[in-house]
Amino acid sequence: TVHLSVSPVSVVSFSFPSFICIGLLHCQAHEKKIGHRRVDASGETTYKKTTSSALQGSIQLGIGYTVGNLSSKPERDVLMQDFYVVESIFFPSEGSNLTPAHHYPDFRFKTYAPVAFRYFRELFGIRPDDYLYSICNEPLIELTNPGASGSIFYVTRDDEFIIKTVQHKEAEFLQKLLPGYYMNLNQNPRTLLPKFFGLYCVQCGGKNIRVVVMNNILPCSVRMHLKFDLKGSTYKRRASKKEREKSKPTFKDLDFLNDVPEGLTLDQDTYGALVKTLQRDCLVRKEERGVG
């Protein structure tokens, strides 16, 4: 066996934006106003002045249209220009010859790199019908304790997908990452980078609300014994007293070093595969940052 030790000098550090995370770290948010997210006295959530219910409905209508429309087109190889394509469709509330009538405010729905994301979904074994059924068949569940990012999180009823609002810079980051992400998936199918299934934008009331669809790697069916939020740093990386008092606390780097001093024990093959995967994933980030 091989010990995979975690120490202040040997930790592999990732610095992805907040939307690229391992699972969802649930924390109690007492604020009624965080970033663009608002919760009024009645408990209704709005994001950029669009109600959560209207946003949910717009996302489901938009994804239903764009994925269904793409399914009618023949599959082909992904080209470089596919990463920069943005498709747009207008959804008037009274409906049109392309879109159904709905009871939400008029909105425009944009789909980023539809052909590229279709390829990603296929690579991850997600069929178009399953994707549509999970997201569009039943109302989404809004997480009431999304954390301090000011984003809105939705989870599909079958616990398969997470949909999160992202800032403009985060969406730009993902778009810029796509070519390298594509190459990495082809060369490194065991990648530990998050799985992205779609990037969309709802334009409503003069505002752009961008959302990303990701895999939910911590579904409710998975029992959590211990939970660590590891950043690869030891500066102020210890769970607070308040956090420790929770029934299911989230520990941090210094807690891991203290509670698991011998690291994690892995067999030789697993250790080798893990290190190789991490090295390849780091190369994607280095290339995106232009680091030699």
Helix spans in 124-210 (H): 128-136, 168-187
Residue 8 identity (one-letter amino acid) = P
Per-residue pLDDT tens digits of the chain, which is 292 residues long: 444 444 333 333 334 444 444 344 443 444 477 777 788 777 788 888 889 999 999 999 999 999 999 988 888 899 999 999 999 999 999 999 999 999 999 999 999 999 999 999 999 999 999 999 999 999 999 987 655 567 899 999 999 999 999 999 999 989 988 998 888 888 888 888 889 999 999 999 899 999 999 998 777 777 888 888 888 899 989 999 998 998 888 899 999 999 999 888 999 999 999 999 888 888 877 766 654 4
pLDDT at 288: 64
> What's this model's pTM, rounded to 2 decimal places?
0.78
Q: Domain residues of the chain, as ranges?
A: 2-289
Quick one: residue 269, left, alpha or beta (phi over 0 = left, psi -120 to 50 = alpha)?
Answer: alpha
pLDDT at 10: 35
State whether residue 189 is helix, strand or coil: coil
d(CA 103, CA 93): 6
In CATH terms, is domain 2-289 a member of 3.20.110.10? no
Q: Do residues 146 and 30 lie in contact, with contact meaning Cβ atoms separated by under 8 Å?
A: no
Q: Do residues 53 and 140 lie in contact, with contact meaning Cβ atoms separated by under 8 Å?
A: no
Residue 274 identity (one-letter amino acid) = L
State whether residue 75 is helix, strand or coil: coil
d(CA 163, CA 136): 12
Q: Which two tokens stand for residue 4?
A: 């995979």
- Name the residue with tokens 């990386």: 237
d(CA 176, CA 173): 5
pLDDT at 26: 42
d(CA 90, CA 106): 8
Residue 82 host element (H or E): none
Q: Do residues 249 and 228 lie in contact, with contact meaning Cβ atoms separated by under 8 Å?
A: no
Per-residue exposure over 138-166, b if at least 16 CB sit within 10 Å of its own CB, e if not: eebebbeebbebbbbbbbbeeebbbbbbb
